[in-house]
Structure 1
Amino acid sequence: MSTLDRARCTVRAHPLALDASVAAGVLVCMVAGSFVDPRGDNGAVWGVRSPAPLSLLLITVGAVALVFRRSAPLTVLAVTGTVSVVECVTGDPRAPVAMSAVVALYTVASTTDRATTWRAGLLTMTVLTGAAMLSGPLPWYAQENIAILAWTGIGATAGDAVRSRRAVVQAMRERAERAERTREEEARRRVAEERLRIARDLHDVVAHHIALVNVQAGVAAHVMDKRPDQAKEALAHVREASRSALNELRATVGLLRQSGDPEAPTEPAPGLDRLDELAGTFRSAGLRVEVARADQGTTLPAAVGLAAYRIIQEALTNVQKHAGPEARAEVSVVRVGPNVEITVLDDGRADDPPDPVAGGGHGLLGMRERVTALRGTLTTGPRYGGGFRVHAILPVKTRSAATGQPGETV
């Protein structure tokens, strides 16, 4: 911390001491001015005079009042203005008592609003100048009377300028603080959204493949002794599912470890073009899956295609985990106007639906978050007579596609 900063901190910590120092300085100036005669004898420009005791008393009262100028600015202005009027009327030769009124007027202007400054400044200027011109011992046009008018105006103007500068600095500081808070809040929001996105992607990747591994491992354990060829086939599916899970996890972690956002992913994000491959992995795990598409070859934006793929993946994973070994799933993809509708139905047990609240995971919540992020709608629930239904409506044109960005066409 520099010497100037330490001095400012000291002044802010002891404002009364600063005011006392200012009052002492004004007192010295007024006392020194009271001994100076601007009209010297024998043609001299300056002379020496002896001030009247009343003038010295008024000087002292005005200087002492300035000690309290911050705590009661208007009261101090009234006191110093009164002693200045008394000096203007009775003093001969006059002492510069009006200096205390000028300092008090400056304090009022720098600590109050502009309307108060205008009222107090005009009143002080009028009263002091009028008293000096009309009741003083000098002619009304004397330079001392004009000086009172000038100095009171300067005091009010300087104080108003200081107050305006303080207001501007304070407004700039508040804007900077708001901007800093906004940046911090935006950073926290982005971190939370990124964490949610990572958690959702990892859940979709891991849950799907681990569910397949679990099913195939159970099949292998069940038929190991009686049908080793079928057990070998199930273990091969386990190896394939685990390899796919590791590859997707490796790709996700690789993106996370990059220092900045990649210009393009290392491999295309999965979309509906891989729907048949996805359905095949579930068929190899023993789930009967039928796929029907009526989307007329629509090319979806990457975000919409990925969301559709993950929704179908999670829905089929839930069917595999909750619907029972004899369940059958139906997947349909239909283009309806500006939207694409995804429907996944199953005819499994109605008494065991996926329930994230009851500890069944975050699959349905992840689906809803993906759909909401694209401004779509999602409906999930049990079917009448048994089974479960997942229905998602996704807009084909995202907001970025509507603005004409490349890669987001229909």
Structure 2
Amino acid sequence: MTRVAGGVRPRDALLTAAVLGATLLAALLLPEGWRDGRPLDGRGAALLAALNLPLLVSGKWPVAALYASLLPQIVYHALDYPHDAAVVAAAVLVYRAARGVSRTTAVLALTPVALVTVLTILLVGGDTPGPEVAATLGWMLFAAVAGQAVRLHKAYLAEVTERARRAEHTREEEAARRVAEERLRIARDLHDVLAHSIAVINVQSSVAVHLLDARPDDPATKEIAEPLRTVSTVSSTALGELRTTLDLLRGNDVDRNEPAPSLDGLSTLVTNTRASGVEATVTEDGDRPALPPSVEITLYRIIQESLTNVVKHAAAPHAWVRVEYRPDGVALTVTDDGRGTGSGGSGYGIIGMTERAHSVGGRLSAGPRTGGGYQVAAWLPLSTVEGS
């Protein structure tokens, strides 16, 4: 809230000016038959301004402003100036005082004000001050009740908002707890089943390679040793990536210095694919730019998954990977000349690749080719915002 000179808020200054202007105009311009008391002169106008001035600070110190207005009000009414002209300022001050404090404090603060007001009316009133006393107490009570009602309504809204905030916070905590539990469950299952199986494959293949290397004179061992050596290397890499995944699932710190998968590893993917019996080739068109890390990792994983699907499901003798670097993004196609099956029909390979492409603002399509075989096509923009 912007302040003006002396710490007065602009809305309080506007309220004071509006009330003072209205009361002065009412006291000066209303027909004489509509006004009570003596005509307003310079002294009366000064007193009227003095009893309105506390409105300037009534938003910050409502009770103090109400009491500051009492003395000029007493003098104003005692001199028998138009009494109705002072009612608006007094009503606003009572309303603000009641709105800004508790019910008990409001009663304690307003009771002396009511007594002083009634006493003033009795001293300066005519022969029948009863109706004037009743009218004065009536508007004071109305203003006080209105102030308390507004205060209670605001308190109720604040309580409802706070309850909603706490409920939302509780739901978020519960959701986070469930996610953490699910991550731990997945990590345990991966460790107990997948990691153990890959470790057994790695150990057995390494032992087999060692035994076959011990028989270098047997020509048949060379043909067997090379695929086993590929199995040992790939399973060792898979174990390393699985351990990193398990650490992330468990919320543990991982070694950020370990190199992330990148396009520099395409030659390894091609070598492993060829060792599996598929003649794979990679073609890169254009100069490779400095790709955002998320785009490069996504590109590598899509190629990796596509070649894996070719080996597992396509029964293809050949696979071609083409990466085209354009000014605004990267176009990727992975095609084969197999039986036109990309994921075996029941796995999550295509779904995972599609989700990866969408995560960086790209798109992916996959399906059989018209002339035979299968194709995966992806477009990844270079304008990806990291962390989005």
TM-score, normalization by structure 1: 0.51
Q: 1:172 to 1:252 in 2, by over 3 A?
A: same
Aligned to 2:352: 366
Matched AA of 1:329: A
**Alignment partner of 1:354: what SS?**
coil
2:329 to 323, 333, 339: 339
Aligned to 1:383: 369
Aligned to 2:237: 244
Question: Structure 2 CA distance, aligned partners of 1:191 and 1:305?
Answer: 32
Q: Is 2:285 the partner of 1:298?
A: no
**Alignment partner of 2:282: what SS?**
strand
Matched AA of 2:328: P
In the TM superposition, residue 251 of structure 1 has moved relative to its aligned partner by 1.8
Q: Is 2:314 the partner of 1:328?
A: no
1:280 to 271, 276, 287: 271
Matched AA of 2:331: E
Matched AA of 1:227: A
In the TM superposition, residue 294 of structure 1 has moved relative to its aligned partner by 1.7
- Of stretches 250-259 and 147-156 in structure 1, the one that deviates more from structure 2 is 250-259
Matched AA of 1:313: Q
Matched AA of 1:159: V
- Kept after mapping to 1: 8 A contact 2:332/2:379: yes
In the TM superposition, residue 363 of structure 1 has moved relative to its aligned partner by 0.9
Q: 1:179 to 1:339 in 2, by over 3 A?
A: farther
Q: 1:238 to 1:400 in 2, by over 3 A?
A: closer
Aligned to 2:67: none
In the TM superposition, residue 375 of structure 1 has moved relative to its aligned partner by 1.4
Q: Deviations 1:278-318 (Å, cap 9, x if unpaired)?
A: 22222222221100012412111111111111111111111
- Kept after mapping to 1: 8 A contact 2:281/2:319: yes
Matched AA of 1:316: L
TM-score, normalization by structure 2: 0.54
In the TM superposition, residue 191 of structure 1 has moved relative to its aligned partner by 7.7
Q: 1:145-294 alignment to 2 at 5 Å? A: 145-180=131-166, 182-183=168-169, 188=175, 227-258=220-251, 265-294=256-285
Question: Structure 1 CA distance, aligned partners of 2:155 and 2:329?
Answer: 53
Q: Deviations 1:57-89 (Å, cap 9, x if unpaired)?
A: xxxxxxxxxxxxxxxxxxxxxxxxxxxxxxxxx
Alpha-carbon RMSD across the aligned residues, in angstroms, is 4.1
- Kept after mapping to 1: 8 A contact 2:337/2:372: yes
Aligned residues: 247
- Kept after mapping to 2: 8 A contact 1:343/1:392: yes
In the TM superposition, residue 382 of structure 1 has moved relative to its aligned partner by 0.5
Q: Deviations 1:297-344 (Å, cap 9, x if unpaired)?
A: 2111111111111111111111011111x4211111111231111111
Question: Structure 1 CA distance, aligned partners of 2:264 and 2:349?
Answer: 22
Unaligned ranges ≥5, structure 1: 1-105, 111-138, 403-410
Question: Structure 1 CA distance, aligned partners of 2:180 and 2:284?
Answer: 32
Matched AA of 1:271: S
- Kept after mapping to 2: 8 A contact 1:319/1:327: no
**Alignment partner of 1:397: what SS?**
coil
**Alignment partner of 1:238: what SS?**
helix
In the TM superposition, residue 192 of structure 1 has moved relative to its aligned partner by 6.3
Q: Deviations 1:229-285 (Å, cap 9, x if unpaired)?
A: 32233222222121111111112223344467x7x8241321222222222222222
Q: Deviations 1:191-233 (Å, cap 9, x if unpaired)?
A: 869979x98xx8xxx89x97xx79x98xx9xxx9993332233
Aligned to 1:61: none
Q: 1:27-38 alignment to 2 at 5 Å? A: none
Question: Structure 2 CA distance, aligned partners of 1:259 and 1:179?
Answer: 30
In the TM superposition, residue 149 of structure 1 has moved relative to its aligned partner by 1.7
